[in-house]
Amino acid sequence: MADLDPQETRLVLDPAVRDDARSRLRSIRGHVEGILRMLERDDVYCVDALKQIKAVNGALAKTGDMILRCHLKHHVVTAHERGDDEAIVAELMDILKYR
The per-residue pLDDT for 8 is: 60
CATH of domain 15-96: 1.20.58.1000
The answer to whether residue 6 scores a pLDDT higher than 60 is no
Secondary structure (H, E, C), the chain: CCCCCHHHHCCCCCHHHHHHHHHHHHHHHHHHHHHHHHHCCCCCCHHHHHHHHHHHHHHHHHHHHHHHHHHHHHHHHHHHHHCCHHHHHHHHHHHHCCC
- Overall pTM > 0.85: no
Digit-coded pLDDT (tens) for 28-67 = 999 999 999 999 999 999 999 999 999 999 999 999 999 9
